[in-house]
Amino acid sequence: MTFAYPAVLTLLTLPVLLLVWEWRRRGTVVALPFDHANARRGRWLEGTVKTANLLAPLLLAVAIILLAGPQRPLSQGTQRVLTNIELVLDVSGSMTAQYGDGRRADKAVEALQEFVSHRKGDAFGVTLFGTEVLHWVPLTKDLDALKHSAPFMKPEAMPPYMGGTRIGLALRSVHKILADRPKGDKMIVLISDGSSGDLRGQSDKISSDLNGDDIVLYYIHVANGQPQQEVYDIANRTGGEAFVAGDPAALQTVFEKIDAMQPAKFKPETPIPADNFRPFALAGLSMLALQLLTLFGIRFTPW
C-alpha cells in the first residue's frame, strides 16, 4: 500500500487524539436521587455508548486517508523481450541457381518473410552481401519495411562488384550493427550457398567478437553438400548452429527449427500505482450508516 500524498497522513494524529479523549472523558456528572442506591454500574452499556462515540473520529481518519490518495501496485502483465535479428542474405551470382521450383535467392527471401511474420515484436534488419556489404534495411519493428524491400533483394539488382562471396566481411560488418544495440537479445541468420576465402584463419577472431557481444549466429546453406568448416565453428561457438537446406521445403523446416530454438521471451512489467479508494470508501460509508443509527438512541443522556 502506498499513498500519492503521504504527508497528509500526519493529520491522522488529530483523530487519534480524539479517540483517546473520547474514550477517557467522563463528561458532566449529574447527581440523581438513585445515584447512591445499590444499582449496578452498567459497564457494558457504558462501553457500547463510548464505542458509538468513537465513530466520528474514525470517520475523520478515513477522510484523511482518502485525501492522502491510497494506491496499490497494478501489474501490467508481461512484456516481450526484444530480439534484434539481422538477416544476412548472399546476393552473389550463384544465388540465381535453380532451387526447387524457383531460384535460391527468391526462395530465401520468401522463407525470410515467413519467418519474420511469426516473430512480431522483434526488430529485424536486412544486410545483403557479395564481394561487398550493403545494409539494406536498418533494424526495425516495422515488418512492412522488409515486405516492401523484398522485390529489390535480388542478385540481378546488385552492381557487378557484388558478384563474389565474402562471409567474413559480412559477419564483421553486421557485428558492428548489433553491438550498438542498447538492449535485447541479438541474433544473426545468414543464408548463403558458397564458401568464403576470407573466413580462413579468421573463425576464432570472428566467433570471439560475436561472443563478446552475446550475438548468436545461425547459418543456412542453401545448396547441396556441406558448408565450409569455419562456418560450422563460428555458429557452434556462438551458441547457434549451421544447417544444410538442399531444397525449399528443407529451408522452411530450418527456419521453424531456429524459431523453436530462439523462442520469444517475456518478462513481467514493472507494476504501476493505481488508486485504491474502494476499501476505505466502503469502510467510511459503513461507519457513517452505523453512526446515523446510533444517533437514534445509543448515546449518553444529554442532561
For 50, the grid coordinates are: 463510548
- Say what the pTM is: 0.63
225 within 8 A of 80, measured Cβ to Cβ: no
**Cα-based distances in Å from 290 to 80, 285, 295:** 50, 9, 9
Domain ranges of the chain: 2-75+271-294, 79-267
For cell 562471396, what's the residue? 165
Question: Exposed e or buried b for every residue in 5-18, given b needs 16+ CB within 10 A?
Answer: eeeeeeeeeebeeb
Residue 270 banded pLDDT, cuts 50, 70, 90: low
pLDDT tens string 164-215: 899 999 999 999 999 988 777 899 999 999 888 888 888 899 999 999 999 9
CATH number belonging to the domain at 79-267, selected among 3.40.50.10380, 3.50.50.60, 1.20.1600.10, 3.40.50.410:
3.40.50.410
**Which amino acid is located at 125 in the chain?**
G
pLDDT over 90 (residue 83): no
pLDDT tens string 208-245: 999 999 999 999 999 888 888 899 899 999 999 999 99
For cell 564483421, what's the residue? 172
